[in-house]
Amino acid sequence: MSAEIHFTVDSRLIRELGERLVGKPYVALAELIKNSYDADANLVNVDFTGDCIVVSDDGVGMTLAEFRDRWMRIGSPHKEAERESPTLHRPLTGSKGVGRLATQLLAEQLEVTTYAGDRAHSALQVEVDWSEAASAGELTHAMARYNEVEPTMSFAGGAASGTSVTLVGLRHEWSPRDFEQLAREVWSLQPPFRSTLASDPSSRFQINLRSSDTSITAAFEGQLTRALELWDARLIGAITDPGDESNDYEATVSLTLEHRDGSQESTSYTIERCLIGELDFELRIFKLEGKQAYGIKVGEAREYFREYGGAHIYDAGFRIPLGGPESDWLRLEFDHAHRLSRSRLLPPNLNVANGLNFLPTNSRLWGVVNIDTATERRVASDRPPELEDRLEIQISRDRLVDNKALEQLRYAVRWALDFYAHRTAWNQLQTTLRRAPVTPADFGERIAALLDKYSASIPERARQEVESELTKAINFVKNTAAQQRGESALLASLATAGISALAIDHEMRHQFNTLEALSDDLGELSHISDRMRQPASDLAAWVSNTRDLLAIFAPLREEVDRTEQRRFVLKPLLLDLQVRLGDLLRGVRLDLEWLNDDLVMPAASYAAWSSVFQNLLMNASNAMLDNRVKHLQIASTEKGPRVSLLVSDTGVGVDLEEAEELFEPFQRRLEISRDRRQLGLGGMGLGLTIVKIICESASTSVRFIPPREGFSTTCEIAWDEQEG
Three-state SS annotation for 418-439:
HHHHHHHHHHHHHHHHHHCCCC
Per cent of the chain over pLDDT 70 is 67
Quote the pTM value: 0.49
The whole-angstrom separation of Cα 219 and Cα 90 is: 28
Q: For residue 24, is pLDDT > 60?
A: yes
- pLDDT, mean over the chain: 76
Phi, psi of 361 (to 5 degrees): -85, 170
Return d(Cα 470, Cα 450) in angstroms, integer: 11
Band of the pLDDT at 724, cuts 50, 70, 90?
A: very low
pLDDT at residue 204, rounded to an integer: 75
Mean pLDDT across 417-432: 87
pLDDT band at 718 (very low <50, low <70, confident <90, very high): very high
Least trusted range by pLDDT, from 318-322, 382-386, 390-394, 657-661 = 318-322
Q: Are 299 and 306 in contact (CB under 8 A)?
A: no
Q: Evaluate whether 33 touches 89 at the Cβ level (below 8 Å).
A: no
Once rounded to an integer, what is the mean pLDDT over residues 570-595?
83
Asked whether the predicted pLDDT for residue 529 surpasses 90, the reply is no
Q: What is the pLDDT of residues 212-226, one digit of tens each?
A: 999 988 888 877 777
Q: Please state whether 377 falls in left (phi above 0), alpha (psi between -120 and 50) or beta.
A: alpha
pLDDT of the residue at 694? 85
In whole angstroms, give the CA distance from residue 128 to residue 106: 13
Give bridge partners of residue 241 from the DSSP assignment: 252
Which residues, at least 6 apart from 412, have a Cβ–Cβ distance to it below 8 Å? 237, 239, 253, 271, 276, 279, 281
Confidence at residue 82, expressed as pLDDT on a 0 to 100 scale:
59
- Which has the higher per-residue pLDDT, 3 or 706? 706
Range 162-184 average pLDDT: 88
Residue 554 has pLDDT above 50, yes or no: no
Q: Above 50 in pLDDT, residue 29?
A: yes
User: How would you label 246-264 residue by residue, b for 16+ Cβ within 10 Å and e otherwise?
Assistant: eeebebbbebbbbbeeeee
The pLDDT-based confidence of 553 (bands split at 50, 70, 90) is very low
The one-letter amino acid code at 358 reads: F
pLDDT higher than 60, residue 487: no
Whether residue 485 is predicted with pLDDT greater than 70 in this model: the reply is no
**Average confidence (pLDDT) over 177-197:** 72
723 pLDDT tier (thresholds 50, 70, 90): low
Enumerate helices (H) and strands (E) in the chain, giving the number of each.
19, 19
pLDDT surpasses 80 at 192:
no
For residue 344, pLDDT over 80 is answered with yes
Q: How far is CA 399 from CA 309, 319, 320, 321, 329, in A?
A: 18, 10, 6, 6, 12
Which range, of 348-352, 420-424, 449-453, 697-701, averages the lowest pLDDT?
449-453
Q: What is the pLDDT of residue 230?
A: 79
- Which of these ranges, 91-105, 276-290, 551-565, 643-657, has the smallest mean pLDDT? 551-565
Is the pLDDT at 504 greater than 70, yes or no?
Answer: no
- Euclidean distance between the first and final Cα of the chain, in Å? 104
- The torsion angles phi and psi of 605, rounded to 5 degrees, stand at -75, 155
Which of the residue ranges 114-123, 334-343, 435-444 has the most confident prediction, judged by mean pLDDT? Answer: 114-123
State the burial class of residue 578 (Cβ atoms within 10 Å of its Cβ: 0-12, 13-18, 19+): middle
Beta-strand relationship, 251-259 and 264-271: antiparallel
Residue 59's nearest CA partner among 161, 210, 189 is: 161
Across 24-33, 378-387, 536-545, 567-576, least confident range: 536-545
* Alpha carbon 292 to its chain's center: 16
In Å, the largest CA–CA distance within the chain is 125
CA–CA separation, 329 and 576 (whole Å): 53
Residue 199 has pLDDT above 90, yes or no: no
pLDDT above 80: residue 236: yes
SS3 of 385, please?
helix
Give the residue with greater pLDDT, 607 vs 499. 607
Enumerate residues 6+ apart whose C-beta is below 8 A from 312. Answer: 193, 319, 323, 324, 366, 367, 368, 369
pLDDT at 11: 44
Please list the residues that pair with 637 across neighbouring strands: 644
Write down the pLDDT at residue 560: 46
Among 258, 235, 396, residue whose Cα is nearest residue 311: 235
pLDDT band per the 50, 70, 90 thresholds, residue 675: very low
601-657 per-position pLDDT tens digit = 998 888 888 888 888 888 888 888 878 888 999 999 999 889 999 999 998 888 888
- Predicted confidence band at 448 (pLDDT cuts at 50, 70, 90)? low
pLDDT at 698: 84
What confidence score (pLDDT) does residue 139 get?
A: 44
Which has the higher per-residue pLDDT, 568 or 457? 568
Distance of alpha carbon 76 from alpha carbon 105, whole angstroms: 20
Average pLDDT over every residue of 535-547: 56
At residue 679 the predicted structure's pLDDT band, cuts being 50, 70 and 90, is very low
Of 12-26, 39-53, 326-340, 498-512, which range is least confident? Answer: 498-512
**314 or 553: which leads in pLDDT:** 314
The more confidently predicted of residues 161 and 106 is: 161
The whole-number pLDDT of residue 423 equals 92
* CA neighbor of 143 nearest in space, from 155, 132, 159: 132
* pLDDT for residue 678: 41
pLDDT for the residue numbered 267: 94
Residue 264 pLDDT grade (very low, low, confident, very high; cuts 50, 70, 90):
very high
